[in-house]
Each structure stands twice: as C-alpha cells, then as structure tokens.
Structure 1
Amino acid sequence: MKTLRSASFWTALLLTIFAIAPLLRPGYFWAAHDARHDVYFILQYNITWNEGVLFPRWSPDWAFGYGYPFFNIYAPGATFLGTLLYRTLHLSLENAVKATFIVTLLISAWGMWLFVRDWLDERAALVAAAAYVYAPYHLLDVYVRAAMAENLALALLPLSLWAVRRAVFRPGPLTIALTALTYAAIHLSSNLVALLFTPVLGLYLLFLACRRLASEKPPLFSSASLRPFSFPRGKLCVRRLLAPAAGLVLGVALAAFFILPALLESKFVNREQWYGGYYDFHDHFVYFAQLFDPRWGFGISTPGPNDPLSYQLGLALVVLAALAGWVWWKR
C-alpha cells in the first residue's frame, strides 16, 4: 500500500507512455521479426484453452496440420499472458500481442522502481525505472524483434532481484514465496534469459549475504569472529542464505512442469538446427564498438560488425552508469 501512495511510483508508470504510445495506434507492426509468430502463438494457445488445456505441449495446427510439440520446449509465460488478455478483454489477436507488450513495459517500470527504492530512495528509483524502460535494447525487443517472451522475462528480472534482496534482509515465508514466484516466472517466460540470469542472480545473492554478514556484530572478520571454531562463521552464513536459497529452489520446483520435460525430452528435438548455418553463435558475437554505435536498424544479426540491428547501450545509460560509479567511488 505504501507503494500505491507514492507519487514517484505513479510518475514512473506515467513515464512509460512514450514507450507505449506507438502500441496504442491502429494497425500492427507485421514487419517486426517475431510479430507474426506472436500472433500464431496466441492463436494456437487459445485453441488448446478451448479444449481445457491451460498449459499445452502441442500446437495442433502446425506442421501442415499434423501438430507440433512447440510449447514443450518454448516457455509459455508470455503466450499465456497474451491469451489471457485476448480472452478477458475480447481483443483481436494482434491487439492481444500489443497489450502484452504494454503490460511488460509497465511491469518493467514497476519492478525496477521497487528494486532500486528498496536500497536507495524514490528519486533514484524513478530514474532507474525510466532508464530501464527506455534502454535501447528494451525498446528494440518490442519494436524491432517483437520478442514477446524475452520482453516479459526482462520485465521480471528487477522483481526477482528485489525479492532475493528482501529474502536476505527480511527472511520469512512471504519473501521466500516472492523469491519463488518471481524466479519461477522467469523460467516460464524465457529459457535463455533464465539460463543467462541465474549465474548473475547467484552472484548477487552471495554479494548480499556478504553485506549482511559484514553488518553483523561482531563484524565478519573482527577479532571476535576469529576465535577457534568460529571462523568463517559458516553457520551464520548458511542461515543468511537459507531463505533466498529456499525461495530459488521452490521457484525451480514451481516451474518444473515445464523445465523437466524440456530437458528430459530434448533428445527428441533436432537441436543441431539451432547451432548450424545462420544460427552458428560464432558469427553473432557483438563487437565492442557496436555497444556505442548510435545507429538504429530494423534488420537481423549478421556476421561482422555491420549488423543492420542496433546493439547500443544508449548514451543516457552510459552517462548515468558513469555518474553512479563516480558517486559510489567518492563515498
């Protein structure tokens, strides 16, 4: 309730209007990379819902009507959300996709605001929320790639970081549940984002645990903590990690209905098609200069440094990061 009374929070949501505005216009962005696929996903998902299957494995009309086990390996979260909006708001398929992107952008602002407010203040939270929503890659994910699944996962990352922080500093059933729900939601939104984010989340958890231990009395490396059998205060460290670790394990368990079949039945999938030819990852590493190239493009990734697709970090974000680093160093 405190969040809902904050003018900074509502300002953060209001500032997303410029990112959302193009989605409110009539028409559909068919030329975006996955825009057609997003429509097909919701169409097939809705068919299975009509048959009483909320989390389908099978897309009945694909592969020339033979069906295809698409949702067995493709995280269903964003399509689930899109189908829910399609059915409850009685939208067209195209507008359901656009509504899904609107929701993910709002979640992005909300999540980043919560995360930063928790350890700084509301002014910093407002700046961080706006910066996250308007990060070039974030907007590219919407308007160039139309990557519905990845965009939902990106929206959930700050919420997961916030929940883990809460679990470290305020351990309890509620924070464990929040950690579990946010982490499970990421796994159910994008396989790849979950894979890349998990090591980062683990390092962040260790960092928070060390900070929590450093604030304990006596401090972690004080003379009192160096007594025989007390160093490195392993039991205390385990206790500090117990709540967030329990939340993460529970999160995997909640998403296991998707994770386990995707892993155990992957041997039946022709995975070589993902790594050969155009999809050979060796041809798609980002060159350092591309991170600062201000040009914008609507093409796809190509070998070499001249992709017709932007990988820029964004001048505003680079400046803000530099200023934040300078302030932190001076403190």
Structure 2
Amino acid sequence: MTPSADQGTTWRVALLLALLLVATSAMSPLLGVPVHGRNFGHDSDYALTALSFMDAGWSAGRLWPRWVMETNFGLGGITFYTYPPVGYWAGALLRRVTGLDIPGTLALAVMLWRLVFLLGCFLWLRRHVAPGAALAAAALAALLPYPAVVNPWIRFAYAEVAGAAILPFLLLALERVAEGRDGRGMPALALAFAALAMTHLPTCALVAHLAPLYAWAYAGPRAAMRVLCGGIAGAGLAACFVLPAMGLLRDANFEGLEDGTWEGSLFLYGLPRGDSGWIQFLVIIWSAAALAGLATLAFRRLGGVATRGPLARAALLLLAVSAALMTVVTLPLWVVLPQLRSIEFPWRATTVLTLPLAAMAALALAGGRQAARRLVLGLGLACAVFAPAYLWARVAFGHPDWPRFLPPEERLARAVDSPRGVSSEHLPAWALANGWRMKWNGTETAPAPDPHPRPALPPGTQRLTAGYLVPEANGPLLLPQFWFPAWAAEDGKGEPVAVRPGKDGFLEVAVDRPVHDLRVHIAVTPWEWAGWAITGISAAGLLGFGLWRRRPGLAAAPALAAGGPGRVAG
C-alpha cells in the first residue's frame, strides 16, 4: 500500500472514531443529567445545585459567590471557597449564551468539555504525527470507558470532566517550554496550570507531581526545572483561589486528607469499596489491557523513528508512573506526601492514563502498519459500543425515575432537596463540631431532621445577596447561617460590630448596644486579599516576561536537538 493510501485509510479510521465520539458525547444533552441510582450519577445532584448557585450568583451580580447562603438546606456553606469555580463559570456563561435551563445547560456542557478534550489531544499529537493519526488517537483516548462512561455517567464528575479537557493543552504548553531555551512558552504553561487548578484541584495536584517527570523524559533535567518553574508561576496565577482555600482549611471541613479514602482506593491494598468501586476497577483494567496491547504493538513490532523519540520516552514514563500511583506499590509516597492524599482517590490517575494511550496510538499509527489501524479501530468501536449499551441498560433497568426524563424544574428541585445535592465537605468545621453532619448521611432519601432548632430572623429583617439587613438590634442575636470567618457586620453608621461562632454552630452577632440598620454580610477575608495580590503580581510578571521574550531583536531559541519532535507521515 502506498503512503498516500496509508494516509487515506488512517483518515477514514480517524473520521469514523471522531464521529462516534461526537455521537456518544451527544447522548448527554439527549438523555439529560442522570438521576442518582445504583452505580449511576453519583454526583449529578451536587453538580446541578452547584451550577444553580453559581448562576444565581451571576444573576445577583456576584461573579464568584464563594459563600453560598442557599446551600446546606438554607444554612449556608463554603462551596466556592474550597471548590474550583472555572467549570461552573463556564456553565453559567453557557446558560446565558444558550438560554437553556440548568439541567439542559449542564448536560450540554458535559458534551462540550468532551469535545474540547478531543481537540486538545489532536493539537498536542499533531506536533508529532500526521493529522489523521493524531485525530484517530485523540478520538480513541476520548472513547475509553473512564472518560466516556465512568466520569460523565457513573460518577457524573462534572469538574473532573472539565479538568480532563485542559490536560492535553497543558502537555502542549509543557512540550513547547521543554523544547525551548528562552522560556518563551512559560506564560502559556503557567496559564494552563492555573486553569487546571481552578477547574479540578485533585487532578492538578496529581499532574503537578507528574509534569516535571514527563518533561525530564521528554527533554532532560533542564526541561524539568523549567516546567517546575511554570508550575510555580501557575500556582501564583491561581493564588486568588488556592491561597484562601488553603488558608481557611482549618475552618472548613475537608474529609479526603486523613480519613483513609486514598488508602482504601489503592489497588492491591484491598478490594474496591462499594459497587461503583468495582465498576471503576473493571473499566480501568480494560483500559490497562488496551494500553498494554498498543504499547506492545508500537514498541516491539513497528519500530522506526516514531517510537524512539521524546514523545515515546515521555509517554512510557507517564504511563508507568500514573499506573504505579494507583497501586499499593506507591503506598510510602501516599503516606509521606499530604498533597497526594488530597487527591482522595488514586484511581483518578486513570484520567492521566488516557494521554499516554493517545500517544501510543498515534505512534503506532505513524508506523503505517495495517495492524495498528485495525487495533485502533477495533478498540474504538468496542468503546463506542460500550457507552450506549451501558446507558441503555441504565435506562431499562436502572433508577425508576430516569426513563421518565424529569422536567427541568422537577429535576433541579429533586437535586436541591436531596442530601446528595450538597456536600458535607462544604459544611464549615464549626457546624460539623455541633452535629450537623447527620443531615448528609442519606442518599436520595429526605434529609435527617435538624439536630438543633434554627434561629428565627429578627422582625423586619431583609435578606441581602450575601447577608442580612436587620432594622433594629438591642443585644446579641443568632442568624440562620453557619459561622465562618468571612462574616462581618456594621451598624448604620459604618461602625463594626463583632461576629463570632454562636450556639449550635450558628452565626452570632455580638451586639452590645442598640443598633439601627445592622448589616451582616460576607466580607473579603485577608486570605482573599493576599491571594488576589499574588495573582495580580504573577499575571503582571508573566505578561512582562512574555512581552520581553517577544522583542524583535531577541534570538529565537534553538529547536530541541537530537530526537526532537517532528511530524511523522502516517
């Protein structure tokens, strides 16, 4: 077969797999957001309520509603202090562009994030192989069970789906920095790291450990140091979120660090927990088998320059380290590194595994062998069939309410009223200490009764966008919101009034004199001011650095020498 015929065959495989990805992705807006049931839609209710809170904040003029008064059954919570906002910013923007309801917007957003992942993988791999091979490999990676079924359907991990879409763009920026000598791509790399941190922090924490290793394998130790600097710069850009999230951690309630979640999720440490754990375990094993087959094909049978370059070295290392992090082999690292434990579930590394798989498939196709095209096509078809087959089974035998395709208002109301519509991790520590955790022990059942009576609002109190306006107060009073250090109060003359944690975890305003027009509100904390200052300084520094490197008289950096990337005919 001639090279042009080879390319034509590869293009046909690529277009078919890309169309299958579009078709399977389109099932999200077609079927809507799933109703939580056995092994299905675990976080769908939370994603709906979080998007509704962000959308309501935008409507009220709060582009970043860190404290959400409506969550935790109307008692308020730290939702967007500790949960990254970018995925929900994108959802709120999409809602305004399309005019869809909240469930419809969320379902469409899942589809679009999956297509962004396809685009990113294509652009990344296009640097190394011909366009047909790059598109086929990108589509195969996006069709794998974990990104195509587990995250958007079994878990409905909306923010993780969005974070996965950023990963190939991060690798693209990483390789540009690794190949250069003058750091010209550093601002783009820092921006990619910051975007990932503000979209899905566990994925960012995982990638922060793996990216320097990838750069080392790709272009040597100096490249690893440049990527490490890019990560630090990205942390500076994301400081407006990361610094308050870390600084207020002791007043928040984060359960994934020391509760043993990571320990029970390490493969070979013990059996997977729960029904969903077994499903995830099976699809990950399937993905690992596909990786092994492609690696064997690419590196033992095909040979050639395409399998000996920097991408091959870096992909193999990324594959090995990502897989090892999911097993008990790396238990000592999980014990000594608290930032790893913040990932909560080691099997989240499966998202990263899709990237070396894409690289393996692209390099295999670049070798021009018919066997490679058949294997890629066969795996893609199998994955594309698995998604609708699984969803058909869920509609036919799953949760009894889902086949009825609940109207948007009913679907959102069900999410808001469900214990799964809020996260106990967004319950402030003071509320947790006063026994409020019990309300989150259910799944789809009605929440447990309040462990303590809720304070009544003083007569005439007006509810503000993020607080209250009390016309008259003559002594200390409790308000029906949980205490958190961001609360502040002033009287009608602008004089501060002390606030403090009150009885049963509620917010107490320590009024010690007759006060008129008492305004109780969420204020900007010192951690937020510091975070925004660091973000501004980092942005200005990176902008100046980028402009300086683009000066006309500055010599361009030499290309990566031996084994540098280049397009390979496929």
TM-score normalised by L of structure 1: 0.76
Residues 313 and 70 (structure 1), Cα distance of their counterparts in 2 relative to 1, 3 Å cut? same
Q: 2:267 aligns with which of 269, 286, 294?
A: 286
Q: Distance in 2 between matches of 1:108 and 1:185?
A: 14
How many residues are matched? 287
Larger Rg: 2
Q: Does 1:267 align with 2:240?
A: no
CA contact (8 A) 2:69 2:77 kept: yes
Q: 1:192 aligns with which of 194, 197, 202?
A: 202
Q: Does 1:311 align with 2:287?
A: no
CA contact (8 A) 1:153 1:189 kept: yes
1:270 Cα deviation (Å)? 2.9
1:27 Cα deviation (Å)? 4.1
CA contact (8 A) 2:212 2:228 kept: no
Aligned to 2:368: none
Aligned to 1:181: 191
1:163 Cα deviation (Å)? 0.8
Unpaired segments ≥5 residues, structure 2? 1-10, 306-570
The Cα offsets for residues 11-61 of structure 1, whole Å up to 9 and x where unpaired, read as: 475442132131132543123111111110110111211222222211120
Aligned to 2:239: 256
Q: Distance in 2 between matches of 1:121 and 1:288?
A: 42
Query: Following superposition of structure 1 onto structure 2, how do residues 165-176 of structure 1 map, counting pairs within 5 Å?
Result: 165-170=175-180, 175-176=185-186
Q: Does 1:149 align with 2:159?
A: yes
1:266 Cα deviation (Å)? 0.8
SS in 2 for 1:45: helix
Q: How large is the Cα RMSD of the aligned pairs?
A: 3.2
Aligned to 2:463: none
Name the stretch that deviates more: 177-186 or 36-45. 177-186
Q: 1:322 aligns with which of 296, 301, 309?
A: 296
CA contact (8 A) 1:172 1:243 kept: no
The Cα offsets for residues 166-197 of structure 1, whole Å up to 9 and x where unpaired, read as: 12224667622321221111101111101111
1:249 Cα deviation (Å)? 2.9
Query: Following superposition of structure 1 onto structure 2, how do residues 43-82 of structure 1 map, counting pairs within 5 Å?
Result: 43-82=52-91
Residues 91 and 200 (structure 1), Cα distance of their counterparts in 2 relative to 1, 3 Å cut? same
State the one-letter code of the partner of 1:312: I
The Cα offsets for residues 240-267 of structure 1, whole Å up to 9 and x where unpaired, read as: 5676455433322211111111111111
SS in 1 for 2:191: helix
Q: Distance in 2 between matches of 1:15 and 1:172?
A: 41
Residues 272 and 137 (structure 1), Cα distance of their counterparts in 2 relative to 1, 3 Å cut? closer
Q: Distance in 2 between matches of 1:289 and 1:268?
A: 33
Greater RCO, 1 or 2 (C-alpha within 8 Å, sep 6+)? 2
Q: Distance in 1 between matches of 2:164 and 2:142?
A: 10
State the one-letter code of the partner of 1:75: P
CA contact (8 A) 1:300 1:309 kept: no
CA contact (8 A) 2:211 2:227 kept: no
Q: Distance in 2 between matches of 1:129 and 1:258?
A: 31
Q: Distance in 2 between matches of 1:290 and 1:325?
A: 33
Q: Distance in 2 between matches of 1:22 and 1:41?
A: 22
Q: Does 1:300 align with 2:296?
A: no
Unpaired segments ≥5 residues, structure 1? 1-6, 211-236, 292-297
Residues 45 and 24 (structure 1), Cα distance of their counterparts in 2 relative to 1, 3 Å cut? closer
Q: Distance in 2 between matches of 1:288 and 1:18?
A: 38
Q: Distance in 2 between matches of 1:309 and 1:243?
A: 38
Q: Distance in 2 between matches of 1:162 and 1:21?
A: 27
Aligned to 1:224: none
Q: Distance in 1 between matches of 2:156 and 2:89?
A: 16
The structure with the largest strand share of the pair is 2
Residues 178 and 287 (structure 1), Cα distance of their counterparts in 2 relative to 1, 3 Å cut? same
1:110 Cα deviation (Å)? 0.7
The Cα offsets for residues 77-136 of structure 1, whole Å up to 9 and x where unpaired, read as: 211111111122111111111111111111111111111111233233122201211111
CA contact (8 A) 1:136 1:312 kept: no
Q: Distance in 2 between matches of 1:138 and 1:306?
A: 14
State the one-letter code of the partner of 1:151: V
CA contact (8 A) 1:45 1:80 kept: yes
CA contact (8 A) 1:188 1:258 kept: yes
1:284 Cα deviation (Å)? 2.2
1:67 Cα deviation (Å)? 0.9
Residues 300 and 26 (structure 1), Cα distance of their counterparts in 2 relative to 1, 3 Å cut? closer
Aligned to 1:20: 25
Aligned-residue identity in percent: 25
